[in-house]
Amino acid sequence: MATFLQQLINGIAQGGMYALIALGYTMVYGIVELINFAHGDVFTLGSFLCIAILALLGVSASGQVIGGWQGALIALLVILLAALLCGVVGVLIERFAYRRLRNAPRLAPLITAIGVSFLLQGVMRNWKGPSEISFPQFLPNPTFSYGGVHIDARELLVVVVSIAMMIALQLFIYNTKLGKAMRASAQDRDAAQLMGINVNSTIAWTFFIGSALAGVAGFISGMYFGTTMFTNGYQAGLKAFTAAVLGGIGNIAGAMLGGFLIGIVEAMTAQYISDQWTNVVVFSILVLILVLRPSGLLGEQLPEKV
Amino acid sequence: MSAPLLAIEGLTKRFGGLTAVKDLTLNVEAGSIASLIGPNGAGKSTVFNVITGIYTPTAGDVKLDGRSIVGFKPHQVAGTGVMRTFQNIRLFAFMTVLENVMVGDQTRMHATPFDSAFRTPRAQKEERAVTERAMELLDYVGLASYAREWARNLPYGMQRRLEIARALAPQPRLLLLDEPAAGANPTEKRDLMGLVRSIRDRGITIVLIEHDMKLVMGISDRVTVLDYGEKISEGDPQTVRHDPRVIEAYLGKGA
């Protein structure tokens, strides 16, 4: 039982990260019907930017631990800056790579997205080199134990940050003017325009928010795993995409649910089958969902897409 | 005679070899109800699409209150006070009835995301005001008790009225109604006539595309008839009704 609970916690932590990335896929798909394959690389870029920002703040990978308010403040600053910068990158990608192709046949923006993905990977490889780089573990990491189940502060951080982000996103989408504009544009772009909504800027904001969430995921992934690599976003992105499809692509709540489910499935597979089989199991789910229920778990019942 | 609120001057719209609208001139007086009629494919909806900025005219000009709005993007046209409904209902199906109307009020909301996120007094005040206005409009079109329903769950006739409420939300100067009576039964048509008149009495100018002749003749101040993209007749309902060219366009030669 303790093992099961332990894996459940690991799965939730890992799943929160997938969920944050999946939100970006699903929001962009909801509004422009594009699978933004560069999104996973924006997530990696988020990790890279965090390392760079930490370096500017004098925090390196050599192991100082900064506790208390100072540590929390640094973490907050890094998260905000990474989110902001990733958001801007997302907006630029949309502006220069996708906007002109918005009315082109579906395949064109899809291929472009793959091109942007390679572009970002190339930039990151040339920036930090082709091998794994370590992410400064600057926050203290006490472990809490209850009856054989261990939760360390990093896992807690991942879960708390990802859930907080999701709640904020929900509130944003349902309570703000821009959130309403996003939902309206996702449901009927032409009608939204004729109601006075600037669809171009609404789409740009959607990319900003999705990419900013990927930036946050980049931070918590760095804190959680302690390393990153320029190709990281490829697999994390594919798993987050699987999560989005599992929940019902275009559906916000579905992306969150899918993210947590994929994380938990991964953890359980690693525990009860074998570490080597996690990818097989996860991507079999992708295939099965696409074949058996292409609209995903929540796709049909709650199509509140953005 | 005062200057018209809407002035269409020499408007031509071609799609490749097809001329959908040809050299159309049309003036709509402020505070009037103008109807645009004609057989299917006569170019009526194209005229709406040009006015609202979906299409760019091949030639000619569209002026609102003396100012050209050609080249405006659809959301900019909406910002000048032109709202419309659609021939095929285009509500936001997965929003509530109330939310649909509130989206219509978008252009008049000024709270920043920061305001909304922290629920500043300004945001709360504005949200209350927007909700209140939306509820008033729902009451006005008789949908107040359906405010929390999903738009897609409303029956057809109510969806049409919801589209009108949504279009009224930003207090437009000009309201374009594209076949509002399509699919309506006689009672609903009578109610609709009353509603259109009462909207006009609120000071909103109306252009109506409609096939139901009784409705058109009953409420229009002026009627313009299009056939194959050209204006073939224009005037008050009586004049148009007896114009031989109109009878020919609708019924064919020799009728």
Q: How many domains does chain A have?
A: 1
pLDDT band at B26 (very low <50, low <70, confident <90, very high): very high
Find which of A134-143, A186-195, A207-216, B185-194 is predicted with most confidence, using mean pLDDT.
A207-216
For position A295, what pLDDT does the model report? 86
Residue A240: how many other CB atoms lie within 10 Å: 30
Closest CB to A176: pick one of B52, B104, B116.
Answer: B116
Percent over 70 (pLDDT), chain B: 93
Give B-chain residues touching A176 at CB under 8 angstroms: 111, 113, 116-117
* Interval B149-182: pLDDT, tens: 999 999 998 999 999 999 999 999 999 999 999 8
Mean local confidence (pLDDT), B10-26: 93
> What class is the B1-81+172-255 domain?
alpha beta
Q: Is A199 on the interface with B (CB under 8 A)?
A: yes
Q: Would you state the structure tokens that stand for residue A135, as one six-digit string?
A: 């992410």
pLDDT of A301 above 50: no
Residue A69: how many other CB atoms lie within 10 Å: 8
Ramachandran region, residue B97 (left: φ > 0; alpha: ψ -120 to 50; beta: rest):
alpha
* Interval B33-56: pLDDT, tens: 999 999 888 899 999 999 999 999
List the domain range (segments joined by +) for residue A199. Answer: 2-128+148-292
Q: Is A244 on the interface with B (CB under 8 A)?
A: no
pLDDT of A216 above 60: yes
Give B116 to chain A, closest Cα distance, Å: 6
Q: Is A204 on the interface with B (CB under 8 A)?
A: no
Interface test with A, best of B97, B106, B137, B166 (most A CBs within 10 A): B106
pLDDT of A304 above 50: no
Mean local confidence (pLDDT), A165-179: 87
For position B2, what pLDDT does the model report? 67
Mean local confidence (pLDDT), A42-65: 90
pLDDT of A201 above 90: yes
More confident residue, B244 or A300: B244
Nearest CA in chain B to A300: B94
* Interval A260-271: pLDDT, tens: 999 999 999 999
pLDDT band at A298 (very low <50, low <70, confident <90, very high): confident
Is A303 part of any domain? Answer: no
For position A20, what pLDDT does the model report? 94
pLDDT band at A116 (very low <50, low <70, confident <90, very high): very high
Is A35 part of any domain? Answer: yes
Task: State CA A141 to chain mean position distance.
Answer: 23
| Distance from C-alpha of A271 to C-alpha of B183, rounded to nearest angstrom | 61
Is A298 part of any domain? Answer: no
- What interface predicted TM-score (ipTM) does this complex get? 0.83
For position B253, what pLDDT does the model report? 65
* Interval B186-218: pLDDT, tens: 999 999 999 999 999 999 999 999 988 889 999
* Interval B94-150: pLDDT, tens: 899 999 999 888 666 666 666 666 667 777 888 888 899 999 999 999 999 999 999
Percent over 90 (pLDDT), chain A: 68
pLDDT of A140 above 60: yes
| Interface contacts A/B by beta carbons within 8 Å | 83
pLDDT band at A294 (very low <50, low <70, confident <90, very high): confident
User: Whole-prediction pTM value?
Assistant: 0.88
Interface test with B, best of A165, A175, A177, A305 (most B CBs within 10 A): A177
Q: Are B208 and B33 in contact (CB under 8 A)?
A: yes
Is A57 part of any domain? Answer: yes
Q: Are B105 and B45 in contact (CB under 8 A)?
A: no
Is A306 part of any domain? Answer: no
pLDDT of B9 above 60: yes
Please give the backbone phi and psi of residue B3, each rounded to the nearest 5 degrees, phi first: -65, 140
Percent over 70 (pLDDT), chain A: 97
Is A302 part of any domain? Answer: no
| Distance from C-alpha of A30 to C-alpha of A206, rounded to nearest angstrom | 10
Is A281 part of any domain? Answer: yes
Q: Would you state the structure tokens that stand for residue A210, as one six-digit string?
A: 């999705």
**B75 with A196: Cβ contact below 8 A:** yes
**A177 with B116: Cβ contact below 8 A:** yes
Which chain B residues have any C-beta within 8 angstroms of a chain A C-beta?
52, 54, 73-75, 77-79, 83-84, 86, 90-95, 99, 102-104, 106-107, 109, 111, 113, 116-117, 166-167, 170
Counting other chains too, the contacts that A295-298 makes at CB distance below 8 Å and 24 or more residues apart are A295/A248, A296/A244, A296/A245, A296/A246, A296/A247, A296/A248, A296/A249, A296/A251, A296/A254, A296/A258, A297/A246, A297/A247, A297/A248, A297/A254, A297/A257, A297/A258, A298/A247, A298/A248, A298/A251, A298/A253, A298/A254, A298/A257
Closest CB to B78: pick one of A172, A181, A195.
Answer: A195
For position B135, what pLDDT does the model report? 95
For position A302, what pLDDT does the model report? 44
Domain limits of chain B? 1-81+172-255, 91-162
Mean residue pLDDT of chain A comes to 91
